[in-house]
Structures are given as structure tokens and as C-alpha cells.
Amino acid sequence: MHAPAQVKEADSPAVRLSQVAITFALKGGGTYQAVRDIDLTVGASEFVAIVGPTGCGKSTLLNAAAGLLKPSAGGADIFGERLSGLNARAGYLFQQDALMPWKTAIDNVAVALEPKGVPRAEALARGREWLGRVGLAAFADRYPHMLSGGQRKRVALAQMLIRNPQILLMDEPFGPLDAQTRQIMGNLLLDLWAQDRKAVMFVTHDLEEAIALADRVVVMSAGPAARIVGDYPVSLPRPRDIAEIRLDPAFHAIHKAIWATLRVEVQKAYAQGEGANA
């Protein structure tokens, strides 16, 4: 367990990306610049959603904050400290299934405490508690393939949160789920988040989801060399219900404003043929 954020840290944002550029070497020579000139700050208890057209490098940005990718220029500061290697203070929720398929739900959650040196019996007890919080107490002994897509996401959520990370990085986590399950998962996420308000970077291509969840929506341009082209505060009251907030007139006003920016980029991406591949 990390010690509570100290006073000095409280002044520093959870994540600060400064002048980040990320370039990939392509097979057969040449390079591809995914993102450039990225300046992005996420406060210690701020929920930031990042939207943009398909293939604009949203996930790349998340990987830079996670330490899974090293920026080719600029850098990431985590609570004021320059990140080198993996970001030990962050939890990551992947779009794809990332659970260990050979472990049951409870083992998948409990194993997340092993790197912290928590004894197995205690880890299992806390794992059961977390499975309960995500509504899967009765499914502890199921293997991932015996769970539905939504249930697997719940396990992954519990696996991430049990470590009590101060930063949550989420890469279109509810993307593969059906519409109703997405809403349920969105509300579950907001409930859990409201309890201790971690810093969140939430990548999605669904603008409505972004507005419903976040305090701020950041819009990225079409790739390659995507930049941030918009940064909108979402001043909707909390607690929110994902399904109901969409009917709020204020929601529509925000949606309209952001969509004006996003639409241009989506069209650009589509014209480049990026719209065809996910």
C-alpha cells in the first residue's frame, strides 16, 4: 500500500505529460509519428476522458503515462516525478481481455496483491471482498472463459482497484461490451471512483460516454502526428447516472460544443481511410 499523498505531492498533478511525441519505427524502414506536442495534465482526483477519431493515438498516450511506451520526445511526470520504467502508481484497464485465463476470478484478483507482498490468505480475503464490490461474489471460482464479457471486465476492474493505485488508466475498457452492459459498467465505475476519487485517464471513442463519466474531455486530432485540439470542462453535477444524464439539457450543450471540434477530426480521419479500420 502506498502512503497517503503527501503535502508536496498534493500540489503536483497526478499525471503531467509535457511536450510528448511518440514515433514508431515501421517494419521495412521509415517511421510513423503517432502523437506530437502533447501537453496534458490530470489532477490528483480528476476524471479526464480522452476522445478522438479511430487511430489517433489515444491509447499510445495512455501507454506513455503507464510507462509501457517511452516517449521519443518530452516526458511524463507522475506526482511531480519524472517517470522512468513502469508507472508503479497506476492501474491499467485494457480494452482486450487481460485476465490470466488459467486463473479463476478470485485468483486473478488476489494475485494482484502478491507483488505488494500481501500474504495469500489475506489476499484471498480481500479479493473476495472486491469481487463482492463489483457484484461477482458468486462467481469467484469461475475461470474467465466461463464469464461473460461484462463479468470479465468486472474482474479486471477489481484486479486493478484492489492494489489501490492512485492513477487509473483505462483504454476503451467497455468498448467490446453491448450498450446496456456499458451503462451498467459505467455506473459501477463512477460508484467505485466516487468513494476515493483517484486520478483517471479514460480513453474512448464514444463522446457520450466521455461526457457522462468525466470532469474534463480532451479531444485529439486525427492521426498521424495527432495533437490535442480541444479541452472541455464538464460541469455536470455528481453523482451521475450514465443513462439519465444524457437527457440533461446541459449535457446536450456540452455535447454540441465538443462535437463541433470532434466532427472535423473524425471526418479527416475518415477521408484518410482510417475510419475503415478499428
Partner 1 sequence: MRRTTLLAMQVGVGLAFLLVWHLLTAVPVSGGKPLFDPFFFSTPLDVLARTWKDLVSGELWYHLGITLTETVLAFTFGAIGGIAFGFLFARREILASVFDPYIKAANALPRVVLAPIFALWFGLGIWSKVALGFTLVFFIVFFNVYQGVREVSPVVLANARMLGMNERQLLRHVYWPAALTWMFSSLHTSVGFALVGAVVGEYLGSSAGLGYKIHEAESVFDVTGVFSGMLVLAVFVIVIDTFVTAIEKRLTVWQPGTGAATAQG
- Residues lying near partner 1 in the complex (CB under 8 A) are found at 66, 68, 86-88, 90-92, 94, 96-104, 111-112, 114-116, 139, 142-148, 150-151, 156, 159, 163
- Residue 159 or residue 204: which is nearer to partner 1 going by CB? 159
- Residue 33 or residue 95: which is nearer to partner 1 going by CB? 95
- Residue 16 or residue 154: which is nearer to partner 1 going by CB? 154
- At which residue does the C-alpha cell 460544443 appear? 257
- Shortest distance, CB of residue 104 to partner 1, whole angstroms? 8
- Shortest distance, CB of residue 199 to partner 1, whole angstroms? 15
- Shortest distance, CB of residue 8 to partner 1, whole angstroms? 24
- Shortest distance, CB of residue 146 to partner 1, whole angstroms? 6
| Cell numbers found for residue 172 | 476503451
- Residue 173 or residue 230: which is nearer to partner 1 going by CB? 173
- Shortest distance, CB of residue 262 to partner 1, whole angstroms? 27
- At which residue does the C-alpha cell 497506476 appear? 90
Q: What are phi and psi of 15, to 5 degrees?
A: -130, 130
- Shortest distance, CB of residue 89 to partner 1, whole angstroms? 10
Assess contact for 60 and 72: CB atoms under 8 A: no
- Shortest distance, CB of residue 16 to partner 1, whole angstroms? 20
Sheet holding 90-93, edge to edge: 90-93, 167-171, 199-203, 47-51, 216-220, 228-233
- Residue 63 or residue 221: which is nearer to partner 1 going by CB? 63
- Residue 68 or residue 236: which is nearer to partner 1 going by CB? 68
- Shortest distance, CB of residue 128 to partner 1, whole angstroms? 18
CA triplet 226, 93, 12: central angle to 5 degrees?
A: 70
- Residue 133 or residue 163: which is nearer to partner 1 going by CB? 163
